[in-house]
Structure 1
Amino acid sequence: MEILIKTFNELSLEELYQVLQLRSEVFVVEQNCVYQDIDGKDQKALHILGTKAGKVVAYTRCFDKGFYFDEAAIGRVVVKEFERKNAYGHLILKASILAIEERFETNNIKLSAQQYLTDFYENHGFMQVGEGYLEDGIPHIAMIK
């Protein structure tokens, strides 16, 4: 998998289309969750794309500290279903952490994790903080690195 790091304006139309398609495929269809994915925040995000044969198969969006939380943030962590066996989730998260450290000059990162993935994020140095909560009908918990 090749990692690409781009601002919103650097994304090609095809890349943007593939990102939105992947997010919809997983978060809306697979997880059966009706919510507004296109939220006006993509323009301020740093987009981390994992591509394979020219197709986006993994993705996150990252924000500088003070935009989403007081800390830098990682969100919309997603891997195409048939590619999950390849550990691309670990690769895209590592690339996202590194991008935040290099671009935003911080290693203080927060994310809103779906609760069933807490072990995954803990393997990357994140710790659960606070109480769990429902976000779009799915149990989540805040995590900080």
Structure 2
Amino acid sequence: MRAEVFVVEQTCPYLDLDDKDTHPEVVHLLGYQDEHCVAYARCLPPGLSYASPSIGRVLVTELARGKGYAYTLMQEAIAQCQQQWPGQGITIGAQVYLQDFYQKLNFLPISDVYLEDDIEHIDMVLPGE
């Protein structure tokens, strides 16, 4: 599913699977519509991608978009990070076109725009408590 969205749909050839997927503290979130997996995100512990906990590989499949699943998925990912690593901020590397979406979840931009795999990104943080 990740390859379908990130590699095929976004025409971005890169190695999706990485050593972070099997790290013992990573939390993988799956969202289902009926019996079909339509949403995914992973929560990463501090020090794996950023100094703080982070959320990445966030996706909703094309046919499931527009139903609020991404917002629900991110709310759950935030809750999981706060439960696993309480009191810490959460950092994301957001695709720039989704910056407004993440700001609605209270993430704040903390970097300039940069290219990652030929796609504009910006680092954002949800401040800790």
Confirm or deny: 8 A CA contact 1:100 1:106 kept in the other structure.
no
Pick from 83, 87, 107 the counterpart of residue 68 of structure 2: 87
Aligned residues: 124
SS at match of 1:85: coil
> Counterpart of 2:107?
126
Q: Given the two structures, how large is their TM-score scaled by the length of structure 1?
A: 0.82
> Counterpart of 2:11?
32
Q: Partner letter of residue 106 of structure 1?
A: G
Cα distance in 1, alignment partners of residues 21 and 48 from structure 2 = 12
Cα–Cα, structure 1 residues 106 and 48, in superposed 2: closer, same or farther, change >3 Å? farther
Cα distance in 1, alignment partners of residues 84 and 111 from structure 2 = 28
> Counterpart of 1:78?
59
Match status 1:68 vs 2:43:
no
Q: Which structure 1 residue ranges, 4+ long, deviate > 4 Å from structure 2?
A: none
Note the aligned Cα RMSD (angstroms): 0.9
> Counterpart of 1:46?
27
Pick from 99, 102, 116 the counterpart of residue 135 of structure 1: 116
Alignment gaps of 5+ in structure 2? none
Q: Partner letter of residue 95 of structure 2?
A: Q
Alignment gaps of 5+ in structure 1? 1-21
Q: Given the two structures, how large is their TM-score scaled by the length of structure 2?
A: 0.92
Greater per-residue helix proportion: 1
Match status 1:97 vs 2:92:
no
Question: Percent sequence identity over matched residues?
Answer: 40
Cα distance in 1, alignment partners of residues 37 and 121 from structure 2 = 25
> Counterpart of 2:2?
23
Which deviations, in whole Å up to 9, do the C-alpha atoms of 1:68-108 show, x marking residues without a partner? 21110000000011111111000000000001111222340
Cα distance in 1, alignment partners of residues 47 and 89 from structure 2 = 11
Cα distance in 2, alignment partners of residues 106 and 43 from structure 1 = 25
Cα distance in 1, alignment partners of residues 87 and 49 from structure 2 = 15
